[in-house]
Amino acid sequence: MKDIRIAAVICCCPLGKVDENLGQMKRWIHAAKSQGAELICFPEMNVTGYGIHSHILQYAVPDAGAVVKKLAQVAISEDMVILAGIAEKQAKEKKVYASHLVIGPDGSWDIYRKLHIAPPEKEIFASGNEIPVFKIRDINFGIQLCYDAHFPELSTCMAGRGADIIFMPHASPRGTPTSKFRSWMRHLPSRAYDNGVFVIACNQAGENDYGLQFPGLALVIGPDGELIKKDTSGNDGLLIVDLKSKDLNAVRGHRMRYFLPHRRPEFYDCQLVEHTALRNFI
């Protein structure tokens, strides 16, 4: 991995106001570029806004095309990698995906679709079925969306496929920035520490115009599991951080602190089993 300066965005993303949200994205991207960032990560579904009721279907983006075209123009003009969230409607499907776009500075693009759908989302969202790891500007990274971060195997899989960084955009409502930060610090440092990767998380902020309130915050955790930087102000803003290869190498070059190469996955068939499969000592 090369050293890279990244920007994580905290912002209000009103549901259904796609043009307004795209307009504010341009301002954030320009601000991040002026501070030397090469990659910018927006919260989950920041373009379309987030919702868990059927009205989100009318705001979902058909096959991502129009949004990609607009953001690709910005990525090229600003020479920036853009990670942006949408509700994505696939042709002939009644459900939508919670998806995150990866748009390169040359206008090329790819997509991640949320694998783990939270219980309140299941009536609306379909789950993805791929675990991609993206390579751009000499960095390898994965993306997880909100509820995805609660499943350790996903981070381990991404790290095993070469990810050095995992971006975790959220649309996580309720609570305060402080309480949400405490919640994140229960599991996100483990994803970084256990796998020797950087973890970057950011959340939406403010009211989404459909009754959901989001506590704005962002953080960056190093591959040693230690917090590098945070913003728990609750306000819209940019968290700018330099991710350094020496911090990654310090963990991965240590004989006792890099666990991933010493896994024994041949023993990890951890599917749910009937109780009769447990050993009985009585």
Cα dihedral 97→171→142→67 (10° resolution) = 50
Cβ within 8 Å of residue 63, ≥6 positions away:
88, 89, 90, 91
- What does the alpha-carbon distance between residue 44 and residue 101 come to, in Å, rounded to a whole number? 10
- Residue range 4-277 forms a domain whose CATH class is alpha beta
Task: State residue 266's pLDDT score.
Answer: 86
Task: State residue 272's pLDDT score.
Answer: 57
Is the whole-model pTM more than 0.85?
Answer: yes
Strand-strand pairing, 139-143 and 109-113: unpaired
Strand-strand pairing, 81-89 and 96-103: antiparallel
- What does the alpha-carbon distance between residue 243 and residue 163 come to, in Å, rounded to a whole number? 14
**Each residue's pLDDT expressed in tens, for the chain with a length of 282 residues:** 999 999 999 999 999 999 999 999 999 999 999 999 999 999 999 999 999 888 888 899 987 888 999 999 999 999 999 999 999 998 777 779 999 999 999 999 999 999 999 999 999 999 999 999 999 999 999 999 999 999 999 999 999 999 999 999 999 999 999 999 999 999 999 999 999 999 999 999 999 888 899 999 999 999 999 999 999 999 999 999 999 999 999 999 998 889 999 999 888 776 655 555 555 566
| Tokens of residue 223, six digits | 């591959």
| Domain spans, the chain | 4-277
- What does the alpha-carbon distance between residue 181 and residue 235 come to, in Å, rounded to a whole number? 14
Are 143 and 135 in contact, with CB atoms under 8 Å apart? no
